[in-house]
């Protein structure tokens, strides 16, 4: 609505500001580092002084109802079937791969791939003893070690923005999914 601006609870309110006020507001609108925040450190998690802080950061974000709803929607879009082979690219702590492993059942397979040893180790620790059809591999999203058309579906959440070449990662997703399979990118 032109000239209208939704307030934080969604009610429209008229906003009338001079140009000087607008430029001040635009400068203040730059991203801040307060609260759960995903900085570019996710491209090099293992090089951080404390890589486990990224595990905690992922958990904090994934625990919100907002991101839980997005994950549910992504799962619906992926249309996971019993017996399916599913890839989670940039799987982080591996929790979503566990959810998917429950859906594909013992006849299926879920593979979580991440570039960070810290993340892969944490994902394996969380999966230990659950006896679900899931495995976690250390690999770069831009160069996958899977045959063409290997997966029935692929997902990738909050990863592309951390890559040098996101197009290449998308090309890999398309390469490894079967022709009528689904790719869901968040």
Ligand X SMILES: C[S@@+](CC[C@H](N)C(=O)[O-])C[C@H]1O[C@@H](n2cnc3c(N)ncnc32)[C@H](O)[C@@H]1O
Give the shortest CB-28-to-ligand X separation in angstroms: 26
133 makes contact with ligand X (CB under 6 A): no
Strands 109-114 vs 85-89: parallel, antiparallel or unpaired: parallel
Tell which positions 19-78 bind ligand X, by CB under 6 A. 38, 42-43, 45, 58, 62
Give the shortest CB-55-to-ligand X separation in angstroms: 9
Cα 121 to chain center, whole Å?
Answer: 17
Stretch that binds ligand X, among 28-36, 73-81, 84-92, 177-185 (CB under 6 A): 84-92
Cβ distance to ligand X smaller for residue 90 or 181: 90
Helix (H, G, I), strand (E, B) or coil at 152: strand
Whether 15 contacts 5, CB under 8 Å: yes
Task: Please report which helix (H) or strand (E) contains residue 107, including its range.
Answer: none
Tokens standing for residue 22 = 């607008």
172 makes contact with ligand X (CB under 6 A): no
Q: Taking CB under 6 A as the rule, which mask of x and - marks residues 89-128 in contact with ligand X?
A: -xxx---------------------xxx--x---------
Helix (H, G, I), strand (E, B) or coil at 130: coil
For residue 62, what are the contacts with CB-CB under 8 A and spacing of at least 6? 68, 71, 93, 95, 96
The contact set with ligand X (CB under 6 A) reads 38, 42-43, 45, 58, 62, 90-92, 114-116, 119, 140-142, 157-159, 162-163
């Amino acid at each position: 609505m032109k000239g209208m601006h939704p307030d934080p609870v969604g009610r429209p309110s008229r906003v009338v500001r001079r140009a000087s006020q607008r430029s001040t507001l635009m400068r203040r609108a730059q991203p801040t580092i307060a609260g759960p925040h995903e900085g570019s450190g996710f491209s090099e998690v293992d090089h951080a002084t404390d890589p486990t802080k990224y595990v905690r950061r992922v958990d904090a974000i994934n625990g919100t109802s907002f991101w839980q709803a997005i994950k549910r929607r992504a799962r619906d879009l992926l249309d996971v079937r019993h017996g399916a082979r599913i890839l989670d690219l940039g799987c982080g702590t591996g929790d979503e791969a566990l959810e998917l492993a429950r859906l594909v059942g013992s006849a299926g397979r879920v593979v979580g791939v991440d570039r960070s040893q810290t993340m892969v180790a944490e994902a394996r620790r969380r999966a230990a003893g659950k006896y679900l059809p899931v495995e976690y591999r250390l690999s770069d999203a831009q160069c996958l070690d899977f045959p063409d058309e290997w997966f029935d579906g692929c997902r990738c959440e909050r990863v592309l923005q951390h890559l040098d070449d996101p197009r290449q990662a998308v090309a890999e997703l398309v390469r490894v999914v079967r022709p009528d399979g689904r790719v869901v990118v968040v």
